[in-house]
Amino acid sequence: MLKAVLEEPFKIKLLELDVPVAKKKEVLIKVLVAGICGSDLHAYRGTQPFLSYPRVLGHEIAGEIAEVGEGIKKLRRGDLVTVDPVFSCGKCYACRVGRGNCCRDVKVMGVHIDGGFSEYITVPADIVYKAPEDISPEILALTEPLSIGVQANNRADVSGEDTVAILGAGTIGLASLLIAKSKNCKVIVADLIPDRLKLARELGADKVVNVREEDLMEAITEFTKGDGASVVIEATGTSKAVEDSIKIASSAGRIVILGLTNDSVRISPIDLIRKELDFKGSRLNNKLFPYVLAILPSIKNKVRKLITDEFNIKDINAAFELLDKHSGKTIKVLLVFTKTH
């Protein structure tokens, strides 16, 4: 089988290895499709702080069960499945209060442990989920990024009464948009790239703002009739966007930070106090795959629009070069192991 190993920044090597064997309470999955995430690109560039080399990347996975280990009854050979890549200790405070996604010793496939850029993988059966009927592997592979959008919406307690501002129209920002619109709220999306804003419109955004051409604060003020956004989801990973989140949030609003940055952010506590803002981080997903899979059939046509490029696993270096040099022209890039359509 082929396995793609990131040996060091900008160096991915394809290795030919033996197919692993499923142990007790494990399944062997033949990977069909795997998405390339922004964190994979950070790893490729050498800017992923949680990753050590060498590493097999990939945590957005769709595949077919090839072998079922001892003690498993709910999964069968041939099932189309996806994998929740989050492992938690079950013992720390976060785990004890039901928030294992931010476990003090959390491990994520493709980051802390090897992931899914391999023709076959073995994983514990309890993190494997069957696909709904009539869902293709390409759509199923986006379960994980959609779960990030659900987590962000949950952290903000988004409801139909809210006006949501999403900063950033990459994969995660657009996933957050799809989830917010599924709750019937109004959504405004801001970005720098016209094609991404056009797609946000197609996915249901009520208004889009090109921040190169329009003043964000003025656009939000007009859109919310002076209130500000009751929910702001920051999905750019820039310090300025975090600072802007506080400015555009309404009084009693909620801000959720998704974008990753190590840059310092200038925040005045008086602004948080004056508006009594809830200022929250959002990490990974907290056992949300069942929720995503339940709504996936109803949004699958919109989800498909997130897929901009597909590469055979043998061309993985070309896929990463595209993302590294032209990430603004892509949304979701998929690696295809077996042609599925």
pLDDT tens track for 34-75: 999 999 999 999 988 889 999 999 999 999 999 999 999 999
The answer to whether position 138 is within a domain reads yes
Total number of domains in the chain: 2
d(CA 144, CA 147): 5
Do 197 and 326 lie in a common domain? no
For residue 153, being part of any structural domain is answered with yes
Residue 292 within any structural domain of the chain: no
Tell whether 135 and 167 lie within a shared domain: no
* Residues spanned by the domain of 263: 149-281
Among candidate residues 84, 235, 110, the one with its CA nearest the CA of residue 172 = 235
Q: Judge if 50 and 176 occupy the same domain.
A: no
Q: Which CATH number belongs to the domain containing residue 174 in this structure?
A: 3.40.50.720
| Averaged pLDDT of the chain | 96
Q: Answer yes or no: do 72 and 172 share one domain.
A: no
Quick check: is 286 in a domain?
Answer: no
Is residue 141 within 8 Å of 62, Cβ to Cβ?
Answer: yes
Residue 65 within a domain: yes
pLDDT of residue 339: 58
pLDDT of residue 124: 98
Q: What pLDDT does 269 receive?
A: 93
Q: Are 25 and 137 part of one and the same domain?
A: yes
Dihedral angle, C-alpha 317, 235, 214, 221, nearest 10 °:
170
CATH number at residue 125: 3.90.180.10
Give this prediction's pTM: 0.96
- 296 is a domain residue: no
DSSP letters, 228-244, are: -EEEEEE-S--HHHHHH
Query: Is residue 6 domain-shared with residue 129, that is, in the same domain?
Result: yes
Domain annotation covers residue 300: no
